[in-house]
Amino acid sequence: MAVTLVIGAQWGDEGKGKIIDVLSKNADIVVRYHGGNNAGHTIINQYGKFALHLIPAGAFHKQAKVIIANGVVVDPSVLWEEITMLKNAGVSFANRLMVSPNCHLIMPYHKILDRLFEEAKGKGKTGTTGRGIGPVHADKASYNGIQLDDLFDKKNFGEKLKVQLQLKNKILKCFDEKPLDQKEIEKTYFDLFEKLKPFIKEPYTLIQKAIKDKKTIMLEGAQGILLDNNWGTYPFVTASSTVSGNVTAGAGIAPRHLNHIIGVAKAYTTRVGEGPFPTELLNETGELLRQKGGEFGATTGRPRRCGWFDAVLTRFAVELNGITDLAITKLDILDDFEEIKICTGYTYQGQKVDYVGGNANFLAKVKPVFKTMKGWKKSATGITNYKDLPKEAKDYLKTLEKLTGAKISYISTGAKRHEIIKK
């Protein structure tokens, strides 16, 4: 009945997985359309607790067709592990999972190059997830990529791999790395291909028909707006575009078909990896947010950096992406705070400044201006009715709405599926 896009409105890990799981209840189709297994989307429902890296978070709703569209980069071993893990948990994919043959493959050399580039950059590193995401996109952009489709013809795959190994092994040699072996890679990828083959089908026709038939489609963004490679804090970003418009390239859905664009934001802010973060709390309060919020990466287990809600950045995300609704997650984590701060603006050398998207150097120099709100010091955990929220929590949310310029339509009060307020 509607096409809904869910994107991260901060630096990733906003709780997109939880929101998508909730909103996909009646979905006919759920789609991942960009990024790869750098994503880690946590879902807690009747099947258990999962951190999904490639399979869309809406996949637990068995009526839904599950699509990994063209824009996703695929590590076939991670995909197979995830299919198997979910099958063992009671979520089967027979006749409902479609992975586009156009998806680019993450190859063993991508992961090695990811590590080598990071090591070479030392202090200037991005702090990637180490999954080969930058290098696979670089190969895609420079016409050196290998796609899932190439595996249907072993000879063709072998030829493409041979060229790439000629190039990549030269680079590896410069870094004193062992060269990669063609036969070994072929065996691994051909074995995985045999397992994945039933799921490799182009989803384009199904998606277009679903749009015509006015079906319910849920589109799952990965990462977050501030990790976008045009508008985020470059070079501390990811390799795919995270803005709402990239759904057109990644899933083949024209912009005019989007009915809702939901931005997910935590009630505070986190970031994992390097890069500027104006509201970061490098003190006990930051540590408290990390411990209470369980702020450790779903993909790498790294501790996440924590800080107050930055309304400047989320307002930017709202504007840039045409966000129609916000989903605020982890409100419960603020339950015990005496005072809660919100960044309402920045100053630079004592002068008020506005955020200019895409400029990491600038963002590293600004000072946040805070508004202090009274905490509620009561439990908001698990509340499902807006009227039951403590007054101070409502005041906090109303202030976020005002500052970000977007309607808050969902408030998540716990990690489990049912712990949500729909306004």
Tokens of 35: 């990024």
- Distance from C-alpha of 200 to C-alpha of 284, rounded to nearest angstrom: 49
Contacts of 136 (CB under 8 A, 6+ apart): 36, 73, 104, 105, 106, 107, 110, 145, 239
Q: Closest distance between ligand GDP and the C-beta of residue 290, in Å?
A: 12
Binding of ligand GDP by 221 (CB under 6 A): no
Compare residues 199 and 410 and give the one whose CB is closer to Mg ion: 410
Place of tokens 């063992």: 88
Query: How deeply is 200 buried, as exposed, middle or buried, from its count of CB atoms within 10 A (0-12, 13-18, 19+)?
Result: buried
Q: Closest distance between ligand GDP and the C-beta of residue 366, in Å?
A: 25
Q: Which of residues 105-144 bind ligand GDP (CB under 6 A)?
A: none
Question: Computed from CA positions of residues 98, 6, 232, 411, in that sequence, does the dihedral angle turn out positive or negative?
Answer: negative
Q: Which of residues 313-372 bind ligand IMO (CB under 6 A)?
A: none
Compare residues 40 and 157 and give the one whose CB is closer to ligand IMO: 40
From the list Mg ion, ligand GDP, ligand IMO, none, partner contacted by residue 414 (C-beta under 5 to 8 A by kind): ligand GDP
Q: Closest distance between ligand GDP and the C-beta of residue 413, in Å?
A: 6
Compare residues 38 and 279 and give the one whose CB is closer to ligand GDP: 38
Antiparallel, parallel or unpaired: β 73-74 and 104-105: parallel
Figure out which of the listed residues 52, 54, 226, 227 binds ligand IMO, where binding follows CB under 6 A.
227
Figure out which of the listed residues 136, 298, 327, 408 binds Mg ion, where binding follows CB under 5 A.
298
Binding of ligand IMO by 8 (CB under 6 A): yes
From the list ligand IMO, ligand GDP, Mg ion, none, partner contacted by residue 333 (C-beta under 5 to 8 A by kind): ligand GDP
Binding of ligand IMO by 135 (CB under 6 A): no
Figure out which of the listed residues 4, 70, 100, 128 binds ligand IMO, where binding follows CB under 6 A.
128
Provide the mask over 10-29, with x wherever binding to ligand GDP is found by CB under 6 A and - wherever it is not: --xxxxxxx-----------
Note if 41 is an active site residue: yes
Cβ atoms of 31 and 248 within 8 Å: the answer is no
Contacts of 153 (CB under 8 A, 6+ apart): none
Compare residues 118 and 335 and give the one whose CB is closer to ligand GDP: 335
Q: Which of 187, 196, 183 is nearest to 103 (CA)?
A: 196
- Distance from C-alpha of 350 to C-alpha of 220, rounded to nearest angstrom: 40
Contacts of 258 (CB under 8 A, 6+ apart): 3, 4, 5, 244, 247
- Distance from C-alpha of 308 to C-alpha of 136, rounded to nearest angstrom: 34
- Distance from C-alpha of 35 to C-alpha of 419, rounded to nearest angstrom: 28
- Distance from C-alpha of 157 to C-alpha of 168, rounded to nearest angstrom: 16
Count CB-CB contacts under 10 A for residue 387: 7
- Distance from C-alpha of 414 to C-alpha of 238, rounded to nearest angstrom: 28
Contacts of 8 (CB under 8 A, 6+ apart): 14, 16, 221, 222, 223, 224, 225, 227, 242, 263, 264, 265
Figure out which of the listed residues 13, 21, 139, 295 binds Mg ion, where binding follows CB under 5 A.
13
Binding of Mg ion by 56 (CB under 5 A): no
From the list ligand IMO, ligand GDP, Mg ion, none, partner contacted by residue 134 (C-beta under 5 to 8 A by kind): ligand IMO
Q: Which of 236, 281, 311, 293 is nearest to 412 (CA)?
A: 293
Set 13, 75, 114, 150: catalytic member: 13
Binding of ligand IMO by 129 (CB under 6 A): yes
Binding of ligand IMO by 39 (CB under 6 A): yes
Binding of Mg ion by 14 (CB under 5 A): no
From the list ligand GDP, ligand IMO, Mg ion, none, partner contacted by residue 294 (C-beta under 5 to 8 A by kind): ligand GDP
Set 21, 28, 41, 110: catalytic member: 41
Note if 335 is an active site residue: no
Q: Where does this chain bind ligand GDP (CB under 6 A)? A: 8, 12-18, 40-42, 44, 294, 298, 329-330, 332-333, 412-415
Q: Where does this chain bind ligand IMO (CB under 6 A)? A: 8, 12-13, 38-41, 126-129, 131, 133-134, 222-224, 227, 236, 238-239, 272-273, 298
Q: Which residues are catalytic?
A: 13, 41
